[in-house]
Amino acid sequence: MLTNLNRLAVEASHPVDAELAEALVGREMLTELNFEENAGTGGRFLQRRTWIADPSTPNQIEQASLSFRHQLDTDVEALFPPA
């Protein structure tokens, strides 16, 4: 999950392809991270859906990463207590 969040943070500087974004973290998490879905429309051909980052998204991604890191550290320490 941390790797996926890091990749999403890099990709968020421009509209992210919907399939990639949803594969990385899922629709629910994208909404929690303040991404907005941009459904393609137009003429005869279906345009690609994208997710567009809100200005607060990088901060949200960082907070989610810190939360996951903290939980991971706690779980590892529970499995392997310090001597």
What is the reported pLDDT for 22?
A: 95
Low-confidence ranges of the chain (pLDDT < 70): 41-46
Q: What is the pTM of this model?
A: 0.81
Residue 42 confidence (pLDDT)? 64
* pLDDT value of position 83: 78
Q: Cβ of 38: how many Cβ atoms within 10 Å?
A: 15
Q: What is the pLDDT of residue 12?
A: 93
